[in-house]
Structure 1
Amino acid sequence: MFGRRVTEASAAAEPVAPASILDASTDAAPGPSSSSGEKTFAASFKRIRDRLFARINVSAAILRGREQLADELRAAIVEIAAAERTIMTVAEYDRIVALILDEMFGLGPVEPLLADASVTDILINGPQHIYVERRGLLELTNISFRDNEHLTNVAQRIAASVGRRVDETSPTVDARLADGSRVNIVLPPLALDGTCISIRKFAKHRIGISTMVQHGNLSPGMGRLLEIAARCRLNIIVSGGTGSGKTTLLNALSRMIDPGERIITIEDAAELRLQQPHVVRLETRPPNIERSGEINQRDLVKNALRMRPDRIILGEIRGAEAFDVLQAMNTGHDGSMTTLHANTPRDALVRLENMVISANAGLPMQAIRSQIVSAVHLIIQISRMRDGVRRVQQISEVIGIEGEVIILQDLFNFAFEETHDGRIIGNFVSTGLRPRFVVQARYYGLEEELKQAMS
């Protein structure tokens, strides 16, 4: 199917011969002898790769698909290796085929990390420094790209796959891989040491409250309280730092929503995976090359209110949309949920106030705080602690306002101490206080279960 090498632009239009991916008119040249050791393999791989790419129509090859191309690639690689008198094992041939396929169809050297279930984040700081997060802790890998051009080509392929553009004139982009993983890209000159790519992997398995209890992220009592809060249609904010597990917890909470409700989700990059049958998923759109056509979260929140939602779930509050979310919570859309970045429940309220002010500078602070108290019922604080474990550190209820101060009531806390070997030992402690939402729990027939959870 592949003939002589053609440009990307003409690949689709130019006919190609249905024989091999190799250009038969190119003569093979002898090269060095057998490979031994990782450095020798790397040198052999580079030579074979360069000669292969010089002799195939890459654009047309990609159209064949990964599975169909694998056998032809193997035959071509065997031919090149024989011409160079390079002796390799079957495993080494398999490895070269996999590496080249990853480069053509995937993310090159980091493709195996995407398949590794133990890896939750992949952080690429230039071509030579690739870190991963496993079990909440960062570690440096021995994987690298050939050079920054190789890394930049991968970044541009990611952006192009979702209809985005990333180059010197537009050096940053947020994108989503085919499996749902979230990607952020920063190119030079903004990234001084080479192209940076941050990948938050898409969890393959759905995690519920019970799973989080088993993993020690929260106690059984806390889990039961949160299940009741979700079923009682409380408006909930999940607060925490980057990578603390906010979206995972939000996904777990959403499993308690009645399947008969109409839910609208709004996100910058779709990560929520609701299991209810009646879900409408909305995603923001960045500006195009002409810097027009942007649809932000505030636009989507306003539009969602016209779509007859029972609940609105916002992936993350970041700015002016905070005002519209509060409006929605106060106008018959109980049971709405969202996340935001903050270190404590009190800080979450302050951030919420500041975001509302940024969009409505003329509103008096007293009015903003009154609206927050009327809208928000529960704040859940989650953190990734020093031992790498993500834990719900605090569950606080918004119970009212006195003067200019919003009053919070803690329902659960995590009391801990750190041991000498870096492990954190502690207990999830109920304050024993009577939740204000016991009235809603009674309405849904869950009052006794709520009392048991608090005890």
Structure 2
Amino acid sequence: MSILSRLERIRDKDATLNQKPSDEPNGNNEPAASAPANGGVGGVAGSSYSGASTVEDDSDALMGVAADLIPLSDPLLMQEGETIVRPALGSNPPPRDNSLALTDTDDSLDPAFAGDDLRRYFRHKHLIFDEVLGSLDPRLWQQPQRDAIRDAVSKAVADAVRSQGLAPDPAEIGWLVREFTQEITDFGPITQYLDDPAIGKININGANEVSVDRLGQTELLPVSFRDDDHLLSLIRRVADIVGNRIDSKVPLLDRPLPDGSRIRAKVPPISPHPTLTIEKTSGNPFEAVKRQQADRQRTDTQPFAQLRDRIQQRLVRELDSNALSNNPDQLRTQVEAQINNVLQEERVAMTRAERASLVTELLHEIIGLGPIEPLLNDPDIDEVMVNGPYQVYAERKGKLELTRQRFRDNAHVMQVIERIVAPLGRRVDEKSPMVDGRLRDGSRFNAVIPPLSLVGPTITIRKFARDPYTMTDLINFGTITREAAQFLQAAVEARLNIVISGGTGSGKTTTLNVLSGFIPADERIVTIEDAAELQMRQEHVVRLETRPANIEGVGEVTIRDLVRNALRMRPDRIVIGECRGAEALDMLQAMNTGHDGSLTTGHSNNPREMLKRFETMVLMAGFDLPVRAIREQLALALDVVVHQERMRDGTRRVVAITEIVGMEGDVITLQDIFTFEQYSVDEHGKINGRLQPNGLRPKFYTKMLEAGVKLPMNIFTPRAVEGSQAQLDRAS
């Protein structure tokens, strides 16, 4: 419903109310005063209440409408469901009668500007809307001086009013200039609500329905857009600011912002009217984005950046292709020579430090991975996440941080993705917009490109240490205790079948890599992975990797195919990087047919859920097996579940080591050998705790002894753990 329609209903409702006698006499025992002749605001369209309302003339709060509706005096009558119609910030409490109150805090506002004057204002604004914005110089939108913009808007408003034959009073002129200035410099009708810390969400459902969530309540705002095209222009502006596209071909926008806010928008044809939802924190969600853009713009316009781009284009044309692939030293020499040539030709003065920085950046662009190459070389960074060209996050010591690295545009990100996937024989395009792979050092790589990714091309790289972690490293990190590590080493040497469970990023693959290091060197190991990343130190290792289908849709090789083939390769151990589908059935069959000592990982929240997931994965093989039969296979095949978590403080810890005991009825019985006990959380948020034994000897302890693996019984008692720790502390 438009603003004019709401005001007409308000006027009709006031007229009806004023015809009824008042139940409350005033102080002079006379009927209550009726609404003023010029049109007081006594109700809100769509509501079932009545009462008084005011309009406060606060120049800092009134943005987007000429006047704001003020909530009624009785709070119990204000609400209709959970929706409240209220004014902009700064409104005074309403008087008890039905008069219209205005303050005189702003000289540009006329106290009589209400009722019919308010309707006339909106009519004038909409009449001159296109003419005013169309007459402004497009370069004005990049004008940093607000006074210059306001002067230009004032002239455009005066010309438009004159051409339309309108006669607005000075108050209307002031408000028109203010609102049209906001159309250029800010976000039009919703500008003031973006800065309101009490507002958590702004909902725009078409041009005439704007509401906010303020302190847990939904409030209908007395603002509107001229039409759907006006709202579309705002949505496109928002999309441009956050670096996204939205139109009839890409009609959906869903983008998180750096401060934790989120933008969601829909446009036709998937929605009959444009809609925009802004989930915000306490501040304006676009301020952080604008700061990022300003930084990027300053960087891109620097002479240094422009010079770098020119030299890079010249290097790509002229460099010897053999130098690019075979000889880094020769490449550096050629890069330095080209830089010297360009500097001499263009007579550019550059210090030695600037020259060295330029050489490094160009080498990253030519033979590295561009802006993210320094992050990959940083030993403190475990993971790099590229969310489009302008957002690059890194996980440093368990904590995510937004870095200063940037790509030029989407094409720049795509160049880096192509550079990664080309040597792997894989492709990424609109027909195949997702790709997994590995870097030369074994780091895991994933990329998703539009149209699946709405923020532009994305890259996720999970780094692996150049020197694989050892169990000593995990103990020093606090991931596991010495006693639990000793127990797991004995379990691997005794050829127990082990599953490492946990959530994404909990360190499952790292732990799998560490445990596989305990496999004796005289055994034949076959590893099976989607993207090969295990770094086995033994010599007798066969590494197998899956392959996606080619462009004709044929030639795919799955993990299940590789597991079946591995059984024909006379393996002593089968290590599966991650079990996530029908290959679970083949793995269980291998474990139950003499291939003991196998290891794998899986996603779950705890050991019990890991077994439930195995049941589901076995059923994915397409065989109609009874659940009890599947559980019996699991109980016979698996021996130990090691569960790992990424804690709130960013640390990764083993939180449970659980034995699969057997079956009781239709239920698989489990027994926790070690569990994590949390003691406290310090003032820095660090979790203090320890992986403690539960005092239970595992059922397979006899199997360990039969395999010739000796494990002292006292490691299963908490007292022994405490004593050994005390001895270590005294020794250190």
Whether the 8 Å contact between 1:265 and 1:279 is mirrored in structure 2 is yes
Structure 2 counterpart of 1:435, from 687, 693, 698: 698
Report the CA distance between 1:333 and its aligned residue. 0.6
Which residue number in structure 2 is paired with residue 51 of structure 1? 310
- List aligned pairs for 1:326-365, cutoff 5 A: 326-365=588-627
* Percent sequence identity over aligned pairs: 49
Question: Structure 1 108/207 Cα, relative in aligned 2: closer, same or farther at 3 Å?
Answer: same
Secondary structure of 1:349's partner?
Answer: helix
Whether the 8 Å contact between 1:438 and 1:450 is mirrored in structure 2 is no
- List aligned pairs for 1:32-71, cutoff 5 A: 39=298, 43-58=302-317, 60-65=319-324, 66-71=328-333
Instruction: Find the aligned partners of 1:145 and 1:40 in 2 and give their Cα distance.
Output: 11
Q: Which amino acid aligns with 2:469?
A: I
Whether the 8 Å contact between 1:314 and 1:338 is mirrored in structure 2 is yes
- List aligned pairs for 1:88-103, cutoff 5 A: 88-103=350-365
Structure 2 counterpart of 1:137, from 389, 392, 399: 399
The gaps in structure 1 that reach 5 residues or longer are 1-37
Instruction: Find the aligned partners of 1:89 and 1:124 in 2 and give their Cα distance.
Output: 32
Whether the 8 Å contact between 2:501 and 2:644 is mirrored in structure 1 is yes
| Greater mean deviation of Cα atoms: 397-406 or 312-321 | 397-406
Structure 2 counterpart of 1:303, from 548, 559, 565: 565
Whether the 8 Å contact between 2:644 and 2:654 is mirrored in structure 1 is yes
Structure 2 counterpart of 1:87, from 343, 349, 354: 349
Secondary structure of 2:569's partner?
Answer: coil
Q: Which amino acid aligns with 1:50?
A: D
> C-alpha deviations, 1:89-132, integer Å up to 9, x for none?
11111111111111111100111111111111000001111011
Which residue number in structure 1 is paired with residue 628 of structure 2? 366
Whether the 8 Å contact between 2:312 and 2:362 is mirrored in structure 1 is no
Whether the 8 Å contact between 1:62 and 1:105 is mirrored in structure 2 is no
Matched, 1:425 2:688: yes
Q: Which amino acid aligns with 2:588?
A: L
| Greater mean deviation of Cα atoms: 246-255 or 321-330 | 246-255
Secondary structure of 1:359's partner?
Answer: coil
Report the CA distance between 1:360 and its aligned residue. 3.2
Report the CA distance between 1:441 and its aligned residue. 1.5
Matched, 1:173 2:432: no
Secondary structure of 1:363's partner?
Answer: coil
Report the CA distance between 1:53 and its aligned residue. 4.2
Report the CA distance between 1:408 and its aligned residue. 0.4
Question: Structure 1 370/344 Cα, relative in aligned 2: closer, same or farther at 3 Å?
Answer: same
Which residue number in structure 2 is paired with residue 313 of structure 1? 575
Instruction: Find the aligned partners of 2:588 and 2:654 in 1 and give their Cα distance.
Output: 24
Q: Which amino acid aligns with 1:217?
A: T
Matched, 1:444 2:707: yes
| Greater mean deviation of Cα atoms: 203-212 or 288-297 | 203-212
- List aligned pairs for 1:241-260, cutoff 5 A: 241-260=503-522
Report the CA distance between 1:394 and its aligned residue. 0.2
Which residue number in structure 2 is paired with residue 16 of structure 1? none
Q: Which amino acid aligns with 1:230?
A: V
Secondary structure of 1:294's partner?
Answer: coil
Whether the 8 Å contact between 2:299 and 2:305 is mirrored in structure 1 is no
Instruction: Find the aligned partners of 1:123 and 1:64 in 2 and give their Cα distance.
Output: 30
Instruction: Find the aligned partners of 2:329 and 2:434 in 1 and give their Cα distance.
Output: 32
Q: Which amino acid aligns with 1:377?
A: D
Structure 2 counterpart of 1:218, from 477, 480, 496: 480
Whether the 8 Å contact between 1:441 and 1:450 is mirrored in structure 2 is no
Instruction: Find the aligned partners of 1:327 and 1:373 in 2 and give their Cα distance.
Output: 12
Which residue number in structure 1 is paired with residue 369 of structure 2? 107
Instruction: Find the aligned partners of 1:77 and 1:211 in 2 and give their Cα distance.
Output: 43
Instruction: Find the aligned partners of 1:100 and 1:56 in 2 and give their Cα distance.
Output: 9
> C-alpha deviations, 1:182-208, integer Å up to 9, x for none?
110111111111110000112112222
TM-score using structure 1 length: 0.88
Secondary structure of 1:428's partner?
Answer: strand
Higher relative contact order structure (alpha carbons within 8 Å, sequence separation ≥ 6): 1
Report the CA distance between 1:317 and its aligned residue. 0.1
Q: Which amino acid aligns with 1:271?
A: E
Instruction: Find the aligned partners of 1:58 and 1:177 in 2 and give their Cα distance.
Output: 26
Question: Structure 1 60/80 Cα, relative in aligned 2: closer, same or farther at 3 Å?
Answer: closer
Which residue number in structure 2 is paired with residue 34 of structure 1? none
Which residue number in structure 1 is paired with residue 451 of structure 2? 189
Report the CA distance between 1:172 and its aligned residue. 1.0
Instruction: Find the aligned partners of 1:57 and 1:129 in 2 and give their Cα distance.
Output: 26
TM-score using structure 2 length: 0.55
Matched, 1:158 2:417: no
Instruction: Find the aligned partners of 1:325 and 1:166 in 2 and give their Cα distance.
Output: 31
Whether the 8 Å contact between 1:217 and 1:390 is mirrored in structure 2 is yes
Structure 1 counterpart of 2:543, from 277, 281, 299: 281
Secondary structure of 2:620's partner?
Answer: helix
- List aligned pairs for 1:15-30, cutoff 5 A: none
| Greater mean deviation of Cα atoms: 246-255 or 47-56 | 47-56
> C-alpha deviations, 1:370-412, integer Å up to 9, x for none?
0000000000001111111110000000001112211000000
Which residue number in structure 2 is paired with residue 390 of structure 1? 652
> C-alpha deviations, 1:42-90, integer Å up to 9, x for none?
6223322333344445385443233212222222223323433332111
> C-alpha deviations, 1:401-430, integer Å up to 9, x for none?
112211000000001133343110112211
Which residue number in structure 1 is paired with residue 206 of structure 2? none
Q: Which amino acid aligns with 2:703?
A: Q
Whether the 8 Å contact between 1:265 and 1:280 is mirrored in structure 2 is yes
| Greater mean deviation of Cα atoms: 39-48 or 67-76 | 39-48
Whether the 8 Å contact between 1:158 and 1:177 is mirrored in structure 2 is yes
Instruction: Find the aligned partners of 1:57 and 1:109 in 2 and give their Cα distance.
Output: 17
Whether the 8 Å contact between 1:225 and 1:450 is mirrored in structure 2 is no
| Greater mean deviation of Cα atoms: 435-444 or 319-328 | 435-444
Whether the 8 Å contact between 1:234 and 1:336 is mirrored in structure 2 is yes
Question: Structure 1 42/199 Cα, relative in aligned 2: closer, same or farther at 3 Å?
Answer: farther
Whether the 8 Å contact between 1:62 and 1:104 is mirrored in structure 2 is no
Instruction: Find the aligned partners of 1:373 and 1:60 in 2 and give their Cα distance.
Output: 61
Q: Which amino acid aligns with 2:696?
A: L
Which residue number in structure 1 is paired with residue 584 of structure 2? 322
Report the CA distance between 1:450 and its aligned residue. 4.1
